[in-house]
Amino acid sequence: MARHIVAALAEIPPGSQKLVHVKGRSIAVFNVNGELFGISDTCPHQGGSLAAGATVGLTTSTEPGKFCHSRPGEFVRCPWHSWEFDLRTGKSWCDPRKFRARPYDLSVESGEALVAGPYVAETFGVSVEDQYVVVEL
């Protein structure tokens, strides 16, 4: 396993998302209120790009006519058929056992640590003043 720098943190401010590529994989990276999530970009249903999907909260209900809204921004809806995926687990809401977008662990590292450490920067030029999103693969 190696750790790969996939983006500068400044490219993905809170409330935004970005499609990144590492070792032939497409990963949709989301910044939800400063917390970073990564899942495979390809919707397990029919292949829509989850990085292009809208992020929403979780809507549940205790009884007909009642709406409970929680976890704002922690779900992405596929732009093709609107299936919801939990950014924390990659699981689809409608059929979590059958349909899951692989989750990836992301971390944020300082440029200073990256320059010093054993990270695979590949095409990234790292500036010690900045912060970077790193995925382990």
Binding residues for another protein, per CB under 8 A?
Answer: 56, 59-68, 81-84, 93-95
Residue type for position 78: C
Residue 40 Cβ, how far from another protein at the closest point, in Å?
A: 19
Q: Is the dihedral of CA 70, 83, 49, 6 positive or negative?
A: positive
Q: Which positions ≥6 away from 106 have C-beta within 8 Å?
A: 29, 36, 37, 38, 133, 134, 135
Nearer to another protein, 82 or 89 (CB): 82
Tokens (6 digits) for 79:
């732009």
State the nearest-atom distance from the C-beta of 44 to another protein, in Å.
Answer: 12
Closer Cβ to another protein, 99 or 124, answer by number: 99
Residue 99 C-beta: closest distance to another protein, Å: 9
Decide whether 38 or 44 has the Cβ nearer to another protein: 44
Cβ atoms 75, 58 nearer than 8 A: yes
